Structures are given as C-alpha cells and as structure tokens.
Chains A and B, each alone.
Chain A
C-alpha cells in the first residue's frame, strides 16, 4: 500500500527557513497597514462609494494574494530543503524525480585482461564495461550525473566533472582502454572521494566499484585504503556497491621476474639467466618454460617448471653470447586465461672487451716498477693479446688523466695517485654517476688533505681519510678479517668454502684508515682484523663499495703496488681472482636503462653514442615521441613519456637499433580473489553492497529515494506566475 507522505530532507534547515520566511508576506502586510501616506482628498464621495461596492471583493483578493505569497515562501524553502520521497510514496512517484551522482570506479589494470569468456564479454574489462553501461542506462536523464574513474595505475578520472549526458558517459565507458599497469585502488578511491567532495550539491551519491577483487589490489593498500573506505562511506550516503568479476577457479601462471645473475655479462664467461615462474589459483602446477635468445629458441627447448605462488626460479645458462645487445625471453608454454604476463623479456649488453683505465701515481723503473703495473698484469695477464682476457687495460700516469675521455672506459683504477685536482674529481664523479666504476687504491703519494678536499667532497670516498696506519717493525702485521666458512660479502662469494686462497694469509703493513659513518649506505666488503694489542677495537674497513648515481666506487684501503711494501697480498694466488671479482661485481652491465616496467619512462643515457636523433617504436611499431631534456647533471638526454604497453620496443640511435624491454609489474600476476569479509575489512569495515559479475536486476531496493525538490520548485514557479496574474488582475501591481 502506498504511503501518501513519507519525507526526509536533504537540507532540513531550508525547510525551517521556508517556514520562517512564510511569515514575511504577513509582516509586510501588517507593516504596510501601519506605514501609509496621508492624502487630503476632495473626491472622497466617489472613493467611498467605490469602496462600499468592492469591499468584499477587495478583502477576498487581499487574502488570496497573501495566502499565495505565504505559500510561495513556504514551498521555496521546501524545494531548497529537497524533500526525498520514499519508494512507496505516492506523492514521490507522482512528482519526484531521481537525482544524484553516480561514480563508477572501473579497474582496467592488466589482470582485467583475464579471459573469462562470458557471452559478449571476452575479458573481465569487457564485462565491467557492460555492467557500467547497464547501470548508466537505468539512470534518470537530466537528473542523475555520472563520473568515471579508472583504477589502472596511475588512476585517472575519465569523467571528473559529473556529466548529465548519459549517452556520452556510456561512450566514455566504451573508450576505456585495457591498461598494462598494476592496480591503483588507493588512487582511484581518492579520486572518487574528491569528485564526491566537489559535488556537494548532490544529495544522493552512489559509488560502484567494478573489479576482479584480487588480493593484491585490495590487500596491498594497508591503512590508506581503510581510511579512504571510511571517508567514502561518509560521502556516498546512497551506498557503495562492489561488483566482483572474479570467476570460480580463477588461476594464472606468469613469469614474474627475469634477470641475469651476473651484473656484467661478457662473451668470455657463461651467463646465468633466472626466471621466476609462478602459478596462482587452482590451475596446473606443472608448467613448461621456453627460453629464447633474440627470438631464437634456446636449447634445450621447453623446460618443465613446478610453479607455485612461491618463488620458483628456473635458471638458463647462456654459453655463447656474442658481444652486443641480446634479448632473452622466458615464456610459459600452453594456454593461460591471462596470457599477457606469460612472457618476460630481459635485454642484456654482452661485453666483449671491458676497457679499464689504470692511472698510476708512481712511475718506476722496469716493467713492474710503477704503482699500477701489478694490477694491470692481474687483470690482463696477456697484455694486448685480445684473447687472453676480457679486460682491456690501459695504463697512464696521473698527469695524463685530464686528457682522457673517461666515458670511453667502463672502469677507472687510481693506483696511489697523490694529487687529485678539483676538476678531475668532478669529472670522475660525473663518470661514476653515469654508470662507470671507480676503484681507488692507496699508496705513498696519497694525502688525506687532498683526498678529503676533492674525492670525499665529490662523494668518491666512503668517508674521510683519517689516519695512515703503519705497523711498526716490532709489531705483527695486520690481516684481512676473512673466513671462507663464514658470511662473505657477495663480491667475495666465489671464495666461499675455499681454504688457503691466501686471503687469510696476506700481511698488511700499512693502510689508510677511513671513517665510515654508521648510517651511510657504504657496504663493507672486507675488514682488517684488529691489532693484537687491541682485539676489541672496531675493525677498520679494508674494502668498501658504495653506489653513486648509476655507478659504483670501490675503496681499497691498502696499496696495489708490491713495490710500496704496504702488503704482501699480491704474492698470493687470491690477488688476481679478487681483482676480477671486484671488477665483475662492481662494473655494471650498462643495460639497466633498457629494462623497464610498464609506466616507467625511457631515458637514453648521455653515454649512448647517437649519430642521429633517436626514435622509439612500441611493440606495434607505433612511434613513441622522445623529448630532449636535461638530466640532473645538466647533460642533454632523450626521454620518453611513461611507456604503457609491455613488450619489446625498438630504439634507433643512428649507429644501432637497440631493444628496450618493458615488462608488466610482477605483483599483479596473483589473480586470486579475496572473500567478501576481507574486502569489507580492506575498506575499513564499511557497509558494502556486494554484487557478482552480472548486471543486477532493477529492483526498488537499489533505487535511491526520489528527490521532490524539482517538483516543489515547479509548484513554486506556478504559484509565482499565479501571483503575478492575480496581482495584475486585481490591480495590485505597481505601474511603471
């Protein structure tokens, strides 16, 4: 049975204001009767006769106008108060009109490309669009407005200002593209919150969250999501509805990581590539992984992998990589509902000749007389014989350093260089920041004053040099704190378990003590054992490494020169091995900039030689604009907009045509949905209307109460027109 009157008000204050304002015409009437003009009048007889004849009519007209004016004020207040008629209200159904704001948060992150193969909707995103459009079609044209937000990272407002054009809103839904980024639920909900706040005029606000309910999307937000959920519950009074598009048994297999085990890949040594294959959901755990190198299937073909939600690394060792850029790809063989993350790429720059510049502070007599000669021999025993080592060394004196183009080398070793000029230190800092490796070896010419004033100032020392420690003739020599059975730094990992390498037997007679700040990010690769007379003193660092920009700085506290009598380490077999380990561990492959994730921008480093303006094409061979800009060091670089499509991009630099790998964010591969309770909890325990993956039936329960404001306002306008007509008819209007 229909209820005749059942009202709530959006702004009750206006209703009370209208009640108060209704008294205004009465007050004006009373005041007018008190405030009058006094006119002596000769033709009084006619006036009195006119009055006698019309007294009743005039009184009726006055009362009618007064009542009309009071009603106008009362109804104007009522209209502004926006009465909401309930569903069963007869009056609401007759005069009411649905108004309100409807905000749709549609997840278009890459897991929404999951092929659920529903009728008319191949992917989850297709189904999300169908649901959104069906809901928009049900809205009241002209009264209800729509805003649309996409949750693919970065979240974006497709329609930020509420649109009343429902056809345009449906078209906007159709235009939503499949994103290849992760989910940015927090960003999307923040946008929905801002839209609701901006549209304070709408009383009925509804929020629709349409996504696949993955745990990564909803449980990765932490407190921010809970806080947003509570804010949204306050703003969206009409309700928040969540559409869960996940299908029963939703599963996915994905290659979530692919990288090279070595930081430097040379054409001399085998390189290990590690792929992490995971399986989420109830699908088959056994997967086959196919490795390809430059689009060519690599032996031994498909490899069986027992994938699980936990890390399942699978290693492929490439043995015969030639120098240059290579693309390694790992793909899951077989059918998968979410195919887009089944393949992952890794671009590697295989080094055929690692150019190392050895700068000597001391030049001696004979082949091994200079301070870098022994290091040169250790790194490149064959001299200029290309086949003997992957390292191509060049030895110069410190006086020649200023004439060298540092960008031509991957590593620069300063061996006992005494005086470093300010400009040289600046050049070295720039070299490191661009990805080069600087190795500092001490020696007699080194002075703390000069090093601290130049290299330390340019962040090329792990700390200021404090004191040169020299063991007296009557004292035992110092040794490295090296235990092959203990925990070793990754740079020394190859020594693990190997006894009698000489590392522990090396004697050190002199070294520079460096003050490494406790909170610095300097890695201590190796320490000296404390002196015997002070066994509990903190150990001094022997080898440290720290990052600076894209490069690294390695500090070696003692000398590399056997002539200096600082150490006997060079006499041990471990010395050449350690030097190679340090080089291989610190010299970067130089291919980091070529391996990106979706959403990252490509920056062509200034070290890349360009003979023409570079051009970038995406996997569909569509040109991606590159803009010339300046990096933090003031150097001119080319930068692309964030790359949104995964796959292999082609970068033409004039001389070469390099490949850029853009991979999907790994964490989104977990498509396992969360349950309703967890979803509510993720949103701060708010009241949530939960729907499935189908368009809900149009029931009265989901319809918001109808806003009678417009109907009442229409009545006010009719009354206003009536008042004007009556006033003119009765002669109660002021003539011009």
Chain B
C-alpha cells in the first residue's frame, strides 16, 4: 500500500511531469495516480436507469449493494446504472505572458505556471470526460483567444489537450473583460474552473467574477504562483525585468523582500475576500507543489454539487 502511494504520487510532482512532453499523457498519469490511492472507482455514475449487477469487490460503496439479491443468493452484488451527464465543466486558463514565468527546472525541462494550469485543466477535463460530463475550454490573455463549448463526446478531451498545448503566451492579461465575455457565451449553468495568477486589476476581476456568479455559474478560482514569487529568495543585486511590459527594477532584493511579500499577500488576501464574498472557492497554488490539491478540491466540489 505504501509502495503504491509512493508510485502514484510521483506523477503528481511538477518536476516529474515537466519531463513528460505530452499533455494528455500528463493528464492521464495525474488522474490515474490520484484515483489509485482512493480505493474507489471514480467513474461510478449517478443515474436512475438500472443497467446490470456486478459482484462486490472490496472498496466498493456499500450504498449500492442490492440487498434483495444478497437475501436470495447469499452473495453480494452491486446495482449499476446507466451514467448520464450532469455537469458542465468549463476550464478557463490564463495564457498571458506572466503565466509563462518558471523557476522550476529539472534536467533542462521547465515547469511554468502555465504548465501547472494546463496540467490541472487537462486532468479535470479527462476526469470529466471519463464520467460523461461535458467539458468546455476557454483560453485567454488580453482577450478570449479560444473558446470551446462544453461537450461530452469522448473526443472532446483530445481537443482540449491539443488546444492547451498550442496556445502562445505573449500578451497582457485582462481577466475581468474576458470573464464578461465567457459569461455571455455560456448558456447552461456550469462549473467554471479559473486557472490564473490573477496579476491583474482586482476591480475588473471582481466585476468579471460577479458577472459569472450572476449567471448562476459555480466558480472555482485557482491562483497559481511560482515558488519564487511566493518566497522571493533572491540575495544578490538583481535586475528584475517585468513581463507584460511592466518595466524593470535594479535593486538589492534582500532589503525589498519583506515589502514585496507584504504587497503580494495583501493582494492575495483581497482576492480571497472577494471570492469568499461571492461564494467562490479560492485556492492559492504553488506551482512547485503536487497537483492533487486542485484535483481533490474539484472532486469535492463536484460531489457537493451532485448531492
């Protein structure tokens, strides 16, 4: 069991994933690795139409045991139903220039915030498609660059993965405006997973999120930050060259560290307060840490929405 834990968790480590070029493979490894540790089939559908019986195996939910069959045959069988789509998952991924920042390197491979975001998006999409949920995708920077309507076709996940890998990141962010556009495009009530560093104007962001909530969408916000951005561990004199045309600054970072972190945390706290006020799940993620946090949060939210 311990061995199994060790094995699957290594696929959740960014440094491991950075060495795997294919995003769909990354997503499969993440999801299979995560689920292998849960002793429970993630694909058990929630439906009303009975399909067949299946023999009980340890780890199955005993809520689905057919007690009548057990009384007649003295054997334990589970009732299985035809699965049906009950969720529209929209992954909204920030592909701005700031998301390209990466300090994680392993054998020449880098792991940027964007890599972290796409890995999460692809994993969620894969998981949703496997459960016959509809998956949509929105990729944006200063504008909405790609938008795919939700679909539960098995090929949808491939499309999502392909698009996530192809998008270039060269422009500034205007998240608030893009969220407005997405809110206008979505017709069904959806679960919107927003993956971004949110390095943007907080008022416009607040406005965009409010628009989504107004349209009754469930929103999960994942702020993805690089370990360097979180810790700011620089020692020597450094010329910081701002991405997204924010100028440059030559300074002695040791003296500025405390102030920088205070600014960053103040922004994150403000963001968190904003989200909480709109009943939006907000999670700050470190791109240097395993991805199971995001996936577990997603599964919990999905379960809650089904109940």
Contact = CB atoms under 8 A, between A and B. Distances in A.
A35 B237 contact: yes
B262 interface: yes
Nearest to A33: B237
A51 B254 contact: no
Given A50-B256, A51-B251, A731-B255, A40 B263 contact: no
B299 interface: no
B239 A37 contact: yes
Interface string A35-77: 1111111111111111101100010011000000000000000
A36 B238 contact: yes
B250 A33 contact: yes
Nearest 4 CB-CB pairings of A with B: A44-B242, A50-B259, A42-B98, A44-B246
B240 interface: yes
Contacts of A47: 240, 242, 249, 251, 256, 260, 263
Main secondary structure of the interface of B (DSSP, over half): mixed
B254 A44 contact: no
A619 to B, nearest CB: 82
B264 A46 contact: yes
B263 A50 contact: yes
A29 to B, nearest CB: 10
Interface stretch (B45-53, B118-126, B144-152, B226-234): B226-234
A620 interface: no
B134 to A, nearest CB: 33
Given A38-B241, A42-B113, A732-B255, 7 more contacts: A41-B241, A42-B101, A42-B197, A42-B243, A43-B225, A46-B267, A47-B249
A51 to B, nearest CB: 6
- Interface centre among A38, A41, A51, A734, by most chain B C-beta atoms within 10 angstroms, is A41
17 contacts: A36-B236, A39-B238, A39-B239, A39-B240, A40-B242, A41-B243, A42-B99, A42-B229, A44-B244, A44-B249, A48-B242, A50-B259, A51-B259, A54-B259, A732-B255, A733-B254, A735-B254
Contact of A39 (B97, B197, B241): B241
B241 A732 contact: no
A725 interface: no
B199 interface: yes
A54 B199 CA distance: 21
A43 B256 contact: no
B264 A48 contact: no
A200 interface: no
Interface of A: 32-33, 35-51, 53-54, 58, 61-62, 730-735
B101 A41 contact: yes
Contacts of B236: 32, 36-37
B238 A37 contact: yes
Given A36-B236, A37-B238, A735-B233, A44 B243 contact: yes
B257 interface: yes
Contacts of B260: 43, 46-47, 50
Contacts of A54: 255-256, 259
A40 B199 contact: no
Nearest to A34: B237
Nearest to A41: B240
Interface in B194-228: 197, 199, 225-226
Given A41-B241, A50-B263, A732 B226 contact: no
B235 to A, nearest CB: 5
Contacts of A44: 240, 242-244, 246-247, 249
B252 interface: yes
A49 B252 CA distance: 15
B205 to A, nearest CB: 13
A32 B236 CA distance: 8
A51 B233 CA distance: 16
A458 B163 CA distance: 121
